[in-house]
A and B are shown apart, each in its own frame.
Chain A
Amino acid sequence: MSKPVKEPFLRIVKRDSASVPRKILVRLLAIVFALVLDALFIYFVTGLNPLSVYVVMFQGTFGTATRFSWAVRDLVTLLCIGIALAPAFKMKFWNIGAEGQVLMGALVTALIMVYMGRKVPSAVLFPLMIVSSVAVGAIWGLIPAYFKAKWKTNETLFTLMMNYIATSFVACAVNIMRGQASSLGKLNMGNKIGWFPKFLGQRYNINILVVVILTFAMFFYLKYTKHGYEITVVGESENTARYAGINVSKVIIRTMAISGAICGLCGLLIVCGRDQTISVNTAGGKGFTAIIVAWLAKFNTFTMALIAFLLIFLEKGAGEIASAYGLNDFASSIITGIILFCILGSEFFINFKMIFRTKAKKEGGNE
């Protein structure tokens, strides 16, 4: 006769849905656990006082008004790209080309700023830059979408490759624009043509305002509009979409155009409202970090704002620790990395539950 199959020691089962208190509790525990783990690392490896390190880390974002404004500036950039990615990811279109789409938007903005800045008045220049950056970003997103819709190409590889093309375009344009100078420097340094003006007394307020509006708009778009509904259906099952009579190709192309357009606009915000220059590092890897932001928030733009804040807080904190204690970057990265790891890892305990082997059972069931 058959021997009963032995029940495994540990089984991992997907949880239906965790209650809100449980979600909050798990995440709080994760942070506490991370801080304890970090304290051990700080004390035993670097020999510093963990508490003072935490204070310094906190000051990275909240230490001075300027630091805070930088943190918010970087937060809105990251959030803006996250917002751009949300509709594409919700459609299960793996757009990892945000980096390139941002760069292309930034490139067009910079070119117009430099070559048209003196020729047209500001009232024409800004609309021109906005329209061009949005259009170029949209096209950069649309190309892989078109190929996916028509020939089922793999969008992950396609959008990734498009990043390198964009980077090369920018490198080429920067070389032309700088001429004999050793570096490009700020664009239109003398006359500040094409720079966003201070708004309500703050340099970055226009960027912040635009991203806040986008946060609300994208939330609304995904949740309450017909387009948003179509995106959800296509993302869930193409067969269901066909059954409902949704034109799947059209939705893919349209959604990616929107995704790319917002990335392009983000490029404009970076050039006009933040850097006033352009380089191959303009997007600075934020196009990839934003993927984490969009995913962790499950495409809810308000949750995205929280996650973007967490990531920026950790980044600024790490920088501050490194400079305050003369640690090398790796040590401070480990400290923030542990926090991030614990918070992300806690998602496991929200989505899954673990079942240990029960001794009470005499016969191990198969399933």
Chain B
Amino acid sequence: MESAISLKHVTKTFGPVVANKDVSLDIYKGEILSLLGENGSGKTTLLNMIAGIYYPDAGEVLVNGKPVEIRSPKDAFNLGIGMIHQHFKLVDVFTATENIALGLDSKEKFDLKAVRKKAQEICDKYHFEMDFNQKVYSMSVSQKQTLEIIKVLYRGVDILILDEPTAVLTPQETEKLFAVIRNMKADGKSVVIITHKLHEVLEISDRVSILRKGEYIGSVDTKDADESILTEMMVGKKVELNIDRPEPKDTIKRLEVKNLSVVSAEGVEVLHDVNFDAFGGEILGIAGVSGNGQKELLEAIAGLQPVVQGGSVKYYNSDDGKGDAMEVIGKNPRIIRRAGIHMSFVPEDRLGMGLVGSMGMTGNMMLKDYETGKWFLTDRKRPKNLAEQIKDELAVVTPSINTPVSRLSGGNVQKVLVGREIAAAPMVLMTAYAVRGLDINTSYTIYDLLNQQKKKGVAVIYVGEDLDVLLALSDRILVLCGGRVNGIVDARKTNKEEVGLLMTKLRKEGEKSE
């Protein structure tokens, strides 16, 4: 088959992070190619280089067999390449037609009527539905996506790249999109889909290429592939990490989550009927492709996320695991604290949610109990002592405990945050991507801290993205897929393929794991 685009030995680095390493990949004419990989495996970066967002550090790009330089999206359009990004690039207050006309060659006459006529022809050809006078802000996510596709087709592209197009769509909308993609293929265009949903890969694509940790693993024809082959290629062989995993002792139920559902501000159900228990003395890992409800789950438990009526999170204070359970849902974080619920939360967005960047360590230590000071004053002494203590114990590198924490390196920021949350003597400790962006040593410091908490009898909930770490650190792993609990497995008995499969393929209703 003839290649529409060939990538040859392409490498892209961001500082010390290697996003793509020596990737060689072909996109054939008239095919639907899926690019599959875990979070951070470099899928988007790779295609951004074709679309003119990034420029490769090394390697070359060939379009129709000729080496090309793609320095901007405009260059990409001129070569017939268009990309639909995960976050749409539309002007909210413009109509559909105006958005299509936006950025057209300035030499052309600005004629909205002509633009509209041509766009309508595209719609008829590929069976889109679009109201061209509608303003973008009043459109649904699916309509916006359709508009993005029309916008790209209007510029006459032959190669269309879609970055996780189905992440924001309902199943019905996904079907519609797939029909459109098939129409485009029939018209001889190449379509590349970035995704990590296995069933969609198998349904729509002709061929699958797999990336893992920035490297190209291989390609298979979809007709020869099945889920287990793809999962194995995607997650790879198990890596031994030598993370300590003490046996859980005296596990007591601390948290009972029942029927928890969350609907996002856009009206999409991001968590569906989640049920699980967390026990003191164990680490419950939560696995899932990012954006499958992990953030909402933790925030709902922490009192930061409104939940659908009927959901319940019960906190067991007494040591026999029975006694009086306290309801967490319906309380804000301060009320939760005042009720005597000892719950700590290390959020994903460290400086945007967990800490105040402009304050020093001292100021940040008092974030959750500044109101305990006498009268109307804040007590500075206790947080200062705590800051000194954490600085020494966790070896935080900072010029002074009053240096704004936003100036510290990522690892030190996380030490400050985790240190504070542990110092609060929690019974339940929730962490979201606690080692993201940290170097190996700091990561191991964090694992040790979590294990210490586990030994103290704390119920630790660890949301992670690295399956090797999840398998080595957790006692049980809860897998979220599409906002549902797709299985809870024993981390000592399971393997990467099983978890990988649970992450990417939603079990049918009624089907049971274990």
Contact = CB atoms under 8 A, between A and B. Distances in A.
A joins B in a complex: yes
Contacts of A247: 332
Which residue among A227, A244, A246 has the maximum number of chain B CB atoms within 10 Å of its CB?
A: A244
Interface in B342-368: 345, 347, 349, 351-359, 363, 366-368
B412 to A, nearest CB: 15
B359 A232 contact: yes
Interface in A232-290: 232-233, 236-237, 239-240, 242-247
B77 to A, nearest CB: 20
Contacts of A230: 370
A347 B366 CA distance: 32
Contact of B352 (A2, A224, A228, A237): A237
A225 B357 contact: no
Nearest to A239: B353
B373 A240 contact: no
A238 to B, nearest CB: 10
Nearest to B349: A239
Contact of B368 (A232, A237, A242, A245): A245
B56 interface: yes
Contact of B376 (A5, A225, A232, A237): A225
Contacts of A229: 363, 366, 370, 378
Contacts of A17: 407
A137 B358 CA distance: 31
A17 to B, nearest CB: 8
B353 A243 contact: yes
Contacts, number: 82
B377 A224 contact: yes
Nearest to B376: A225
A1 B60 contact: yes
Interface residues of A, number: 26
A2 B56 contact: yes
B337 interface: yes
Q: Which residue, B55, B57, B332, B370, has most C-beta atoms of chain A within 10 A?
A: B370
A69 B283 CA distance: 70
Q: Which one of A5, A228, A229, A240 has the highest number of Cβ atoms from chain B below 10 Å of its Cβ?
A: A240
Nearest to B334: A245
Interface in B250-305: 302-304
Given A2-B55, A233-B356, A245 B376 contact: no
Given A2-B56, A246-B334, A240 B354 contact: yes
Contact of A243 (B57, B354, B357): B354
A226 B378 contact: yes
Interface in A202-244: 224-230, 232-233, 236-237, 239-240, 242-244
B377 A226 contact: yes
A156 B60 CA distance: 50
Contacts of B353: 237, 239-240, 242-243
Interface string B63-79: 00000010000000000
Given A226-B376, A240-B352, A240-B367, A2 B345 contact: no
Contacts of A225: 376-378
A226 B354 CA distance: 18
Given A237-B352, A240-B352, A245-B333, A5 B55 contact: yes
A242 B378 CA distance: 19
Given A225-B376, A226-B376, A232 B356 contact: yes
A242 B304 contact: yes
B352 A239 contact: yes
B15 interface: yes
Contacts of B355: 240
A236 B353 CA distance: 10
B335 interface: yes
A17 B407 CA distance: 10
Contacts of A245: 303, 332-337, 368
A159 B354 CA distance: 31
Contacts of A246: 334
Contacts of B69: 2
B62 to A, nearest CB: 13
A224 B333 CA distance: 23
29 contacts: A1-B60, A2-B55, A17-B407, A224-B377, A224-B378, A224-B380, A225-B377, A225-B378, A226-B370, A226-B373, A226-B376, A229-B363, A229-B370, A232-B359, A232-B363, A237-B352, A239-B352, A240-B353, A240-B355, A240-B356, A240-B367, A242-B332, A243-B304, A244-B367, A244-B370, A245-B303, A245-B368, A247-B332, A367-B15
Given A237-B356, A245-B335, A245-B336, 6 more contacts: A239-B352, A242-B353, A243-B354, A244-B334, A244-B367, A366-B55
The 6 closest A-B pairs by CB, nearest first: A245-B334, A245-B333, A239-B353, A236-B356, A244-B367, A243-B353
